């Protein structure tokens, strides 16, 4: 079907990033676009062929498959494809064919490059790596949205001062916003109450409006910390209401600023290291969600954020071990406490349970085991108190199966490698992420090296581990390129853990196994796999870029929940994303799916 210039222009105005182009640029772009009509089942392009440009679906559906014929994505209205290959080397990185009768718009390569060179919004859209994050922000450059306390206490102007003072006392706050409906009328502080109401001996029935500061200066959530500091210094005030669209949405106080500066990972680690009980540590770990918000808002990359948060969990664990030894006495034999799961990989976010185990020196006796059972319970109970909840699968040192001498651990790993049934695959996957946390680290060194060598030498075990790594797949489907959860509490959302980061975590574990690499962290594994020639440079770069985007999206989702005073989780509704974000997230999932397909077809060296 031929499309008129006006039809093309109107359509492009509904597709990001072209909707942000100046009208004259958009008009010129419409003149240079080609329109293709592709019959159902016919190819759009084949793998390795020179791409004629970037495609945008105007009508119909396109199926994308990899070199092995595996479907990696279904694309529909407004979805674009072909850009990864075009911007990389000009060659198609996948196959594409029309799943239904389809109409496509084609943007020629010279047009795309010209748009990228001259329009930042287009350059940003096609930036696969998202670039380096900016350097961490200070209090002065942080967004007020990060600094402010939400849901500020409010009262009507008629409320008696005495009742208002009681309200402040009961809520442990130093100010009240006075409002009628959504309209902010004024603000009253404890200083106003003492300096006016008490000092002047006003009657008990005096309304709060009598002593309030009317029409207080307000700031927007989109202002920055320096604006708060400058207003406070210039006007000699300690409370600033925050409004958006004329509606009160928060307040910033001097206490908030102090708290913001105090909440950093080093300070939390210091307080935990000096705590005398799990309850004391729990008061500190309760600040982790706010730390998450600040780290992400401060421009830190996801691997830095998760590393700092994991460091806190490590400190909690070591402090609990020290307190356990103080209570129970010195251990009868050397031991090593290890973490697996996200803590083992140093990838904890705002949502974490505990996965851990104990390795004991082979000189341990049956009589000694009671000591380590008590130690395991003390530490695991303490971790639970601190918000690292008990593992639903009982992968904890409190389970006698995971509190054993090193010789038994050798038997475990040898058994899993020799007979890789589904349970063995699952256990091996968990235990290959082990990382020593506290105790005698030497107990693990030889065991790790020997296990990796034995696992790598057993081709059947490696094949089973590869198969196991493909059980979690990216959520690619028809609707906007995503397949959401279909039922239950998290219906119509994407599971950014099990269908987002876990597929990459599993791939990295396989590469680590193939290269006998000792790293546990996912990014470190991918880089080490590239260095060891287990993974090609282009494969490592693509997978790292995809992983970074998925992991960043997950953290940003958790931060949005924390800022809305909700519990962070991994379930993202696609509707929360812009077209720009959806497009890039979908492309990241396509990369992961393609890499899974390559590994599944026995291609460890990915190009």
Residues 247 and 188 in one domain: yes
In a domain, 574, yes or no: yes
In a domain, 135, yes or no: no
> Phi/psi zone of residue 73: left (φ > 0), alpha (ψ -120 to 50 degrees), beta?
beta
Residues 453 and 487 in one domain: no
Which carries the bigger pLDDT value, residue 538 or residue 277?
A: 277
pLDDT in tens, 420-449: 888 888 888 888 899 999 999 999 988 988
**CATH number of domain containing 164:** 3.10.580.10
In a domain, 133, yes or no: no
How far is CA 158 from each of CA 161, 178, 180, 583, rounded to the nearest angstrom? 9, 9, 10, 52
Order across the sheet with 154-155: list the strands.
154-155, 175-180, 183-189, 213-214
pTM above 0.75, yes or no: no
Q: How does residue 136 score in pLDDT terms, banded at 50, 70 and 90?
A: low
Tell me the Cα Rg of the chain.
29
**CATH number of domain containing 20:** 2.60.120.10
| Domain enclosing residue 174, as ranges | 144-253
Residues 213 and 240 in one domain: yes
pLDDT in tens, 474-498: 998 755 578 899 899 999 999 999 9
In a domain, 584, yes or no: yes
Residues 476 and 525 in one domain: yes
**CATH number of domain containing 338:** 3.30.460.10
Q: Rounded to whole angstroms, how far apart are CA atoms 348 and 271?
A: 20
Sign of CA dihedral 338, 342, 347, 351: negative
Residues 432 and 287 in one domain: yes
Residues 40 and 171 in one domain: no
Q: Which of 125, 158, 189 is the last residue of a domain?
A: 125
Residues 65 and 167 in one domain: no
Q: How does residue 1 score in pLDDT terms, banded at 50, 70 and 90?
A: low
pLDDT in tens, 552-601: 999 999 999 998 889 999 999 998 988 778 888 988 998 999 999 888 87
In a domain, 134, yes or no: no
pLDDT given for residue 131 in this prediction: 41
Q: Which of 407, 426, 458 is the last residue of a domain?
A: 458
Q: Rounded to whole angstroms, how far apart are CA atoms 242 and 244?
A: 7
In a domain, 130, yes or no: no
Find the helix or strand (DSSP H, E) in which 252 lies. Answer: strand 247-253
Q: Is residue 419 predicted with pLDDT exceeding 50?
A: yes
**Count of structural domains, the chain:** 4
Residues 506 and 549 in one domain: yes
Q: Which of 407, 430, 458 is the last residue of a domain?
A: 458
In a domain, 268, yes or no: yes
Say whether the peptide bond before residue 332 is cis (omega within 30 degrees of 0).
Answer: no
Residues 320 and 384 in one domain: yes
Residues 85 and 165 in one domain: no
Which carries the bigger pLDDT value, residue 132 or residue 37?
A: 37
3-class DSSP state for residue 307?
A: helix
Q: Is residue 127 predicted with pLDDT exceeding 70?
A: no
* Of 137, 362, 168, nearest in space to 261 by CA: 137
* Of 453, 454, 450, 455, nearest in space to 466 by CA: 455
Residues 240 and 269 in one domain: no
| pLDDT, averaged across the chain | 88
By mean pLDDT, which of 139-143, 483-487, 528-532 is the weakest?
139-143
Q: Is residue 197 predicted with pLDDT exceeding 80?
A: yes
pLDDT in tens, 28-63: 999 999 999 999 989 999 988 999 999 999 888 888
pLDDT given for residue 304 in this prediction: 85
Residues 78 and 203 in one domain: no
In a domain, 14, yes or no: yes
190: exposed, middle or buried (Cβ count in 10 Å: 0-12, 13-18, 19+):
middle
CA atoms within 13 A on the CB side of 514: 25
Contact at 8 Å (CB) between 89 and 143? no
Structure token pair of residue 383: 């971790």
């Amino acid at each position: 079907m031929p499309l008129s210039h006006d039809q093309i222009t109107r359509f492009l105005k509904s597709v990001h990033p072209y909707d942000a182009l100046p009208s004259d640029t958009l008009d010129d772009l419409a003149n240079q676009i080609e329109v293709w009509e592709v019959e159902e089942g016919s190819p759009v392009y084949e793998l390795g062929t020179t791409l004629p440009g970037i495609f945008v679906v105007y009508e119909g559906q396109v199926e994308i498959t990899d070199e092995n014929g595996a479907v990696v994505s279904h694309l529909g209205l407004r979805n674009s494809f072909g850009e990864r290959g075009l911007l990389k080397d000009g060659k198609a990185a996948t196959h594409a064919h029309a799943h239904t009768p389809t109409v496509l718009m084609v943007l020629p390569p010279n047009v795309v490059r010209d748009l990228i060179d001259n329009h930042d919004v287009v350059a940003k859209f096609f930036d696969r790596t998202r670039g380096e994050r900016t350097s961490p922000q200070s209090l002065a450059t942080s967004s007020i949205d990060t600094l402010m306390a939400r849901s500020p206490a409010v009262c009507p102007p008629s409320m008696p001062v005495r009742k208002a003072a009681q309200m402040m006392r009961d809520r442990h706050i130093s100010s009240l916003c006075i409002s009628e409906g959504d309209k902010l009328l004024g603000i009253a502080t404890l200083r106003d109450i003492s300096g006016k109401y008490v000092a002047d001996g006003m009657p008990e029935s005096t309304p709060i409006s009598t002593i309030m500061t009317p029409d207080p200066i307000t700031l927007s959530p989109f202002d920055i910390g320096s604006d708060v500091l400058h207003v406070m210094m210039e006007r000699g005030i300690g409370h600033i209401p925050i409004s958006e669209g004329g509606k009160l949405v928060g307040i910033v106080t001097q206490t908030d600023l102090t708290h913001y500066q105090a909440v950093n990972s080093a300070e939390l680690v210091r307080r935990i290291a000096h705590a005398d009980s799990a309850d004391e540590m729990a008061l500190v770990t309760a600040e982790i969600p706010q730390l998450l918000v600040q780290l992400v808002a401060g421009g830190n990359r996801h691997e830095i954020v998760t590393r700092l948060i994991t460091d806190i969990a490590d400190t909690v664990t070591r402090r609990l071990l020290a307190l356990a030894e103080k209570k129970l006495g010195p251990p009868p034999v050397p031991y090593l406490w290890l973490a697996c799961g996200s803590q083992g990989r140093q990838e904890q976010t705002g949502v974490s349970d505990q996965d851990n185990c104990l390795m004991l020196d082979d000189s341990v006796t049956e009589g000694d085991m009671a000591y380590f059972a008590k130690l395991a319970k003390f530490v695991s109970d303490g971790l639970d108190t601190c918000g690292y909840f008990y593992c639903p699968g009982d992968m904890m040192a409190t389970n006698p199966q995971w509190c054993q001498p090193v010789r038994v651990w050798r038997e475990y790993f040898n058994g899993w490698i020799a007979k890789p049934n589904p349970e063995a695959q699952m256990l091996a996957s968990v235990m290959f992420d082990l990382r020593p946390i506290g105790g005698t680290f030497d107990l693990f060194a030889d065991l790790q090296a020997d296990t990796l060598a034995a696992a790598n030498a057993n081709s059947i075990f490696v094949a089973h581990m590869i198969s196991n790594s493909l059980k979690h797949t990216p959520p690619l489907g028809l609707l906007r390129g995503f397949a959401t959860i279909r039922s239950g509490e998290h219906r119509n959302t994407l599971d950014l853990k099990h269908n987002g980061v876990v597929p990459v975590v599993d791939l990295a574990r396989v590469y680590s196994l193939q290269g006998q690499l000792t790293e546990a962290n996912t990014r470190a594994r991918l880089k080490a796999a590239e260095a060891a020639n287990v993974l090609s440079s282009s494969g490592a770069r693509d997978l790292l870029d995809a992983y970074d985007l998925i992991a960043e999206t997950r953290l940003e989702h958790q931060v949005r929940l924390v800022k809305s005073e909700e519990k962070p989780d991994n379930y993202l509704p696609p509707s929360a994303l812009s077209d720009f974000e959806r497009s890039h997230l979908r492309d990241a999932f396509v990369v992961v799916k393609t890499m899974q397909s390559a590994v599944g077809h026995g291609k460890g060296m990915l190009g």
